[in-house]
Amino acid sequence: MRRRSCTKWKKYLLLLYSIFVASVSFAQEREISGTITDSSVDEPLPGVNITIKGTSKGTITDVDGNFSITVPSNESILVISYIGFNSEEVQVNDQTVIIIGMVPDIGSLDEVVVIGYGTQKKSDLTGSISSVSSEELEKIAATNVSQALQGRASGVWITSSSGQPGDEARVRIRGISSINRSDPLYVIDGIPVSTQTAEYSDNAKYTASLNSINPADIESIEVLKDASATAIYGSRGANGVILITTKRGKKGDPKVNFSYYKSFSKIQKLQDVMNSQQFVSFYSDLLDNGTLSGNPAYIAGTNIPVSSFYTDTIDSSIDNDWQDLITRTAQTDNYYLLISGASEYSNYSVSMGYRSEAGAVVNLNLERINLRVNSDHKINKIIKLGESLSVSYVTTKGDNASLQNASRNAPFMPIYDSLNLGGYAGPYFTTTGRNEVTNTLAEVNLREKSDIQSRILVNIYGELEIVKGLKYKLSGSGDYVTTNSRSFTPQYDLGADGNMGIRGNALATLNESRRFTTRWILENLLTYQNTFDKHEITLMAGHAAESFHTQGLTSSGTSFPNPEITVPSGATENITMDGDIWEEKLLSFFGRVIYSYDSKYLLTASIRRDGSSRFGVNNKFGTFPSFSLGWKISREKFFDGVPLINDLKLRFGWGQTGNQDGIRKYYPYFSGINTNRTFYVFGTDQVTHFGGTPFFDSANPDVKWETIEQTNLGLDMGLWKNRLTLSADYYIKKTKDMLLPVPLSYHSGLLQGFAEPILNIGRIDNKGIELNISYKGSISQLQYTLSGNLTTIRNETVQLAGSDIEHADQNNIIVMRTVEGLPLSSFYGYIEEGIFQTEEEIANHARQNANTAPGDIKFKDLDGDHVITANDRTYIGKSIPGLIYGFNLDLSYRQFDFSAFFQGVADVQRYNKPRRILTIPSNLGNEIDVNKSPEVLNYWREGNTGTNIPRLIETDPNNNARFSTRFIENAGFLRLRNLQIGYSLPESLSSKINIDRFRIYASFQNVLTFTKYSGLDPEGLAIDEGPTAFLDSYPPPGIITLGVNFDF
């Protein structure tokens, strides 16, 4: 075994050596010359690549299309390639002059793309669809589907939620169309899988992570954006559809592909915080001079200043960087093996993937195992069978440790204390009970948390060709997901606190929950395709029944007398159990006509009728129509003489789709009966009788999907024989019937403030343009592709249920509002006008607080009543970017390839929440004596009045920390998302070791960001995610990856 691997290594060494040594010339070599022309116009082609197959030797044609090259033998094969033309291979034989007419490659536009329930030639598309191929995916070592898509397709806005292993980015297509749910529908190999469905309580929230899909298995991703493309998915198509097609075997010899990469990741930016000495000096100053009275704060009942705790008791020689302590350079290993092949009757593709990813915060880990089998079999002339089967097992471990908490830990706090149970030191305390932040490292290391998701996704189909062109397909699909979450916090203590008693965790606590979710789909599909003269027609009719069922069980308990037994049966106290079952069913009928006349006039029309168990009894079925038209102007006779433009197509589409997930509940049309929270006592023994009454919400029998009506106008263009391609779309997306809670009157007799009834009444508009542009060219042997995409979004809330909707951050501070006439969730706060310099200035300004003093922040009196109140808040920023863009540069030179991918957003603001605590020199709320940015040392004071940091004041009477323009920052950014350099062995060498292809590469992710945002990461969650959208806890780390790829 050992010997063999040794030999193997020698082989590779030899190979590496060969890369750098010039090839040896052979005896039979001779020179040949020739001319390359464009056969369509019979003109010479300059810059065409000519290489000798199996060698790295080559040349290019001159301005007249001529070339000459020395070939080793008559058997040599010339490979002639040029952007925009089909490659040609010519055996030299005994020719000395070779003239070749190249055929323009219109294939790039003739690719077939996957559309819902079928495929279509890309050149015949009339809808708006973006496509990402496996080659593109290969260039980024993407960990999941959303990452693979980011910046690749216009109209798709993707934000990374965090850099935590397993966290998925949020995908929004063409803006945000609902205040409820705006997640697109994912369809994997024809199986619609929702990532999230309704929620009735947090516990019942079902999430099937797309983490279970290995990006390496993906053949292509299609993003259906406009209604004419998505309407075939009816009540679930409103937020766009992402079609994921996995790899299937292709004709030819069996292929083995093996790839491996290793990544190193590290968080690029941490909060700048004070060291021990700065901390002590700042806080003793605050306690001595920053009190409201101006006198030092004394420990109650004594004349000892509280600050003496810092100046006398603290060992400020200890200087711990807590953020550093909980972060690390993490390593990831990723293995992938794919075996595929095809015969005349069958094809197969089998893959295995393994990934072990460590988080850049200690103790966060992810492990993923993927297995996949895809195959198709022709049984006879009319019957075809096939299946796609994938099994995945994903484990994520570790608590989402808060970097934010670490940044607040006092630097002088020791890390360990062997006297404490658990071994960690606690925060310093005095009788004042100061410094509330616990030992973050102890929390990270002592708490155990794991989530395991295993998933089987299977589709089996049979297809029958009844007569030529008419096919019937029956397919059954299943999606089985089990999740198992466990969190265990052992008993530990972090030492005593003067006021608070023992700190830490007094009772070992275990929470375990399991959920089993199934979704099965049965589909009947009838397609007919035929060509009559110049008429080409494809008809499709289908029926689908879908059933979803999820069942959860949660248990918890405390007090584990045997520390070894930490399963639920080890708990001895506070044992609880909880469970639920939720169901959803969908019944659909759909049909589509695709018609083209002479490939010139194109028409697609589709209709879907969906019945859903989630719709109210009066609206059980919804119909979703669409149509789109295309006109290939370039095929008209009058276009013949037009120079440059070889392809021109106009598209127009209209359609209606539904957003079923906007109904967040499973059974919105039932009034819940409350039976355990109403009581009355009867009888001499005063026995409690439980009541039963409509209690929580009133039924809305009319509740239905949110309807989104979309109009799309598009233009596709190819210039210089498709070297330059351009595609532009203008879209108007109107959300009607948005579900909003309506006021519940007292007369209803229902309890206010709980789930209010929902009605389809709101409206939101999204408008914008999308632009995709790509240019392929070459200079000598350097081939390059430049491509870019751009999307604009104009979002407007048109109609609400009468009242504005307020959005709070985790501290319950209102930071956003949704109002009619403005974009959804606009930032809403005070306008800062600078810092008061004199008492006189305060007297002349609107009244803020009795204790407002020079050095406090001045806020603008918007309503002119000379008092700063909640009415002086206004709209101070938008959270949906106005512009999203990405651009890509691909280069290849001989065996080297290079790609750089930039992505960015502009015209957007973000709430820099951590800055509130970090830069206001006061103790805010519960944030007592937490570490802050060194910026606070520059606070306003006599002799330092030119600063923008307010005065030192313990309790912040002026509320300097209120939500104002101070914390709203421009969150536009341009990020070098990925940079990759690869090298492939020449075939001449790789073939010697029986390898078809061997490529090594290095890539760098998130390494360069241009932004004005001062926080850790300008990217934020989509705002419809709720308060967590403002967390800034774990920015995407910078990643360096080294990888290899073999094809056998």
Partner 1 sequence: MKKITIILSIIFVFAACTEDFLDITPANNLSDGNYYKNQDHALAAIASAYDVMTWMEFYGVWYALLLEGAGDDCIPENSRFKELTYNTDDGTIADMYMILYMGIMRSNAVLEKVPAIEMDEELKNRILGEAKFLRAFYNWHLVTLWGEAPLITEVLTLEEQTQQSKNTTTEIWNQIETDLLGTGEVTGAIDLLPETYDPSNIGRASKGAAIALLAKSYLYQEMWQEASDMFDRIIEPDLGGDGIGGYGLVQYDDPQYQDSAGFHDAYLSVFLENPFAGENLEDGRPAIGGENSKESVFEVQYNDYIAFPDGGMWLGWGNAGSFRNLYFGATNWGAYRNLCPSEGFVNEFEAGDPRKNASVFSNGDIMDYRPETQFYMVPFDYATSGSYSQWIMKKTIYPIWYLANAAPINFPLIRYADVLLMKAEALINLGDEPAAAQYINRVRQRVGAPVTIPWVEDLISSNSSISDLKDALIHERRVELGLEIHRMRDLIRWSSPTVNWVKVSDHNQFFVAGKHEYFPIPQYEIDISGGNLVQNPNWN
Q: Name the residue with tokens 């808040």.
A: 873
Listed in order, strand segments (DSSP E) in 499-618 are: 501-505, 509-532, 535-558, 573-597, 601-612
State the burial class of residue 569 (Cβ atoms within 10 Å of its Cβ: 0-12, 13-18, 19+): exposed
Q: Name the residue with tokens 């491996």.
A: 260
Cβ-based nearer residue to partner 1, 200 or 258: 200
| Residue 1015 lies near partner 1 (rule: CB under 8 A) | no
Cβ-based nearer residue to partner 1, 737 or 861: 737
Q: Considering the complex, what minimum distance in angstroms separates the CB of residue 467 from partner 1?
A: 9
**Would the CA dihedral through 191, 194, 200, 205 be positive or negative?**
positive
- Give exposure, 146-182, as e/b (b: 16+ Cβ within 10 Å): bbbbbbbbbbbbbbbbbbbbbbbbbbbbbbbbbbbbb
Q: Considering the complex, what minimum distance in angstroms separates the CB of residue 686 from partner 1?
A: 4
Cβ-based nearer residue to partner 1, 633 or 742: 742
Among 744, 816, 908, 920, binds partner 1 (CB under 8 A): 744
Q: Considering the complex, what minimum distance in angstroms separates the CB of residue 88 from partner 1?
A: 45
Q: Considering the complex, what minimum distance in angstroms separates the CB of residue 120 from partner 1?
A: 24
Cβ-based nearer residue to partner 1, 742 or 782: 742
**Would the CA dihedral through 685, 690, 695, 700 be positive or negative?**
negative
Task: Tell me which residues in 663-692 interact with partner 1 (CB under 8 A).
Answer: 666-667, 670-692
Cβ-based nearer residue to partner 1, 425 or 740: 740
Q: Considering the complex, what minimum distance in angstroms separates the CB of residue 206 from partner 1?
A: 14
Tokens of 784: 């390059």
Q: Name the residue with tokens 């820099």.
A: 912
Cβ-based nearer residue to partner 1, 313 or 576: 576
Task: Tell me which residues in 577-596 interact with partner 1 (CB under 8 A).
Answer: 580-585, 587, 589
Tokens of 293: 């009275």
CA 238 – CA 706 distance, rounded (Å):
8
Q: Considering the complex, what minimum distance in angstroms separates the CB of residue 194 from partner 1?
A: 17
CA 646 – CA 723 distance, rounded (Å):
10
Q: Give every CB contact of residue 943 below 8 A, 6+ residues apart in sequence.
A: none
| Residue 1048 lies near partner 1 (rule: CB under 8 A) | no
User: Per-residue string for binding with partner 1, 515-554, x by CB under 8 A?
Assistant: -------x-x-x----------------x-x---------
Cβ-based nearer residue to partner 1, 14 or 673: 673
Among 81, 402, 517, 612, binds partner 1 (CB under 8 A): 612
- CB 461 within 8 Å of CB 431: no
CA 1002 to each of CA 888, 928, 990: distance values in angstroms, whole numbers, following the listed order: 17, 46, 20
Q: Which stretch binds partner 1 (CB under 8 A): 395-403, 605-613, 812-820, 841-849?
A: 605-613
CA 1040 – CA 264 distance, rounded (Å):
5
Tokens of 776: 């392929």
CA 117 – CA 376 distance, rounded (Å):
17
Q: In terms of DSSP bridges, do strands 241-246 and 185-188 run parallel, antiparallel, or are they unpaired?
A: parallel
Cβ-based nearer residue to partner 1, 1 or 870: 870
| Residue 757 lies near partner 1 (rule: CB under 8 A) | yes
| Residue 202 lies near partner 1 (rule: CB under 8 A) | no
| Residue 200 lies near partner 1 (rule: CB under 8 A) | yes
Among 73, 499, 752, 1028, binds partner 1 (CB under 8 A): 752
Quickly list DSSP for 754-799: SS--EEEEEEEEEEEEEEEEEEEEEETTEEEEEEEEEEE-EEEEEE
Tokens of 717: 């263009």
Q: Which stretch binds partner 1 (CB under 8 A): 2-10, 448-456, 564-572, 694-702?
A: 694-702
Cβ-based nearer residue to partner 1, 20 or 746: 746
Q: Considering the complex, what minimum distance in angstroms separates the CB of residue 382 from partner 1?
A: 9
Cβ-based nearer residue to partner 1, 22 or 681: 681
CA 877 – CA 811 distance, rounded (Å):
20
Cβ-based nearer residue to partner 1, 430 or 612: 612
- CB 421 within 8 Å of CB 504: yes
Q: Considering the complex, what minimum distance in angstroms separates the CB of residue 968 from partner 1?
A: 31
Q: Name the residue with tokens 């750098």.
A: 20
**Would the CA dihedral through 603, 609, 612, 618 be positive or negative?**
positive
Among 252, 749, 925, 1026, binds partner 1 (CB under 8 A): 749
| Residue 754 lies near partner 1 (rule: CB under 8 A) | yes
CA 921 – CA 283 distance, rounded (Å):
9
Number of residues that bind partner 1 (CB under 8 A): 69
CA 779 – CA 790 distance, rounded (Å):
27
Cβ-based nearer residue to partner 1, 745 or 844: 745
Q: Considering the complex, what minimum distance in angstroms separates the CB of residue 609 from partner 1?
A: 10
Q: Considering the complex, what minimum distance in angstroms separates the CB of residue 550 from partner 1?
A: 11
Cβ-based nearer residue to partner 1, 638 or 746: 746
User: Per-residue string for binding with partner 1, 779-808, x by CB under 8 A?
Assistant: -----------------------x------
Cβ-based nearer residue to partner 1, 771 or 801: 801
Rama region for 925: left / alpha / beta (φ>0; ψ in -120 to 50; rest)? left
Among 46, 118, 423, 611, binds partner 1 (CB under 8 A): 611
Among 193, 750, 842, 1039, binds partner 1 (CB under 8 A): 750
State the burial class of residue 423 (Cβ atoms within 10 Å of its Cβ: 0-12, 13-18, 19+): middle
Q: Considering the complex, what minimum distance in angstroms separates the CB of residue 756 from partner 1?
A: 10
- CB 596 within 8 Å of CB 603: yes
Task: Tell me which residues in 460-499 interact with partner 1 (CB under 8 A).
Answer: 464, 466, 472, 474
User: Per-residue string for binding with partner 1, 615-644, x by CB under 8 A?
Assistant: -----x------------------------
Helices (H), 64-169: 107-110, 134-138, 145-149
Cβ-based nearer residue to partner 1, 559 or 674: 674
Q: What does residue 123 show for φ and ψ, rounded to 5 degrees?
A: -70, -20
Q: Considering the complex, what minimum distance in angstroms separates the CB of residue 841 from partner 1?
A: 35
State the burial class of residue 520 (Cβ atoms within 10 Å of its Cβ: 0-12, 13-18, 19+): middle
User: Per-residue string for binding with partner 1, 696-735, x by CB under 8 A?
Assistant: --xxx-----------------------------------
Cβ-based nearer residue to partner 1, 285 or 580: 580
Residues near partner 1, by CB under 8 A: 200, 464, 466, 472, 474, 522, 524, 526, 543, 545, 580-585, 587, 589, 611-613, 620, 666-667, 670-695, 698-700, 742-754, 757, 759, 802
